[in-house]
Structure formats: structure tokens, C-alpha cells
Amino acid sequence: MPAMSDAEYRGFVTAGTRTAKWATTRRDGRPHVVPVWFVLEGDDLLITTGSKSVKGRAVLHDPRVGLCIDDDRPPYAFVLIEGRASVSTDPDEVLRASTLNARRYVGAERAQEYGRLNAGEGMLLVRITPEKVISENNITGE
């Protein structure tokens, strides 16, 4: 199982509409894992979420997060990211990130509409800065 090069990693996480499984820790210590849309900007991953959602509340309490991005088809591959989240409530930043996410997942023709829909009051921009990345490519060796 070869690890991915930086170029392979970036290509993998930005390919198509692959989602990330975002892990946070609830206040009582229980894990919370949820699929999310994201975009890669530089080295950071951008996600938008509601401030009152479980993941929003969790990341405001504890900025340590984990992400898993995988390909569940042979020959299989995955990227695991451990990092820290910084949060912005700036409406312009939230709208920009929300529109970037929408462009990736619903297409350019609906990006503005979805961007506005997911950038309203109470929304957060979560910027995840990776501290550790583990990646495996071609797990079956095919």
C-alpha cells in the first residue's frame, strides 16, 4: 500500500464530489462523525456548518478534528487528516466558502443559490488546518 505523494493527495481529495467524514468530540466525550462537503484551499479544508449543529457546537468547544476521505471502489484509497479548526462568522467569508462548496457539489449553475442558502445567520466557516496526514493508495495492490 503506497502512501500518496503530495500531488496525489491533492488530486485525490479534490476529485469529483467525494465527501469527507468529519469527526468531532461532543462535550460528554462521545465521538460524532458526519459526512460533509468541503473544498481544499491551499493546505486547508473549508467546511460550512450551523453554529447550533452538533458539529458546530463541538468544534467551538474543541478545535481538534479528524477527517477521512476515501474511495470505496477497488483498488481502494483513503486519506486521514488530523488537524485543528479555526472558525469564522464573517458573513462574506462564510458566503465565499459556501459558494465554493456548492460549485463543487451542485455545479456552477446553482452555486450562487446554494451558497446563499448555506451562508445565512448562524452559519460558520470552519477552516481545518492539517497537522497530520496519512494516505494510502491502491490498497489491494492491483
Q: Mean pLDDT over residues 29-34, rounded?
A: 96
- Structure confidence by residue, pLDDT tens digits, 94-110: 999 999 999 999 999 99
Range of the domain at 95: 6-136
Assess whether pLDDT exceeds 90 at residue 2: no
The separation between CA 104 and the C-alpha centre of its own chain, rounded to angstroms, equals 12
In the prediction, which pLDDT does 142 show?
76
- Structure confidence by residue, pLDDT tens digits, 48-72: 999 999 999 999 999 999 999 999 9
Number of structural domains the chain divides into: 1
The pTM of this model reads 0.94
CATH number at residue 96: 2.30.110.10
142 domain residue, yes or no: no
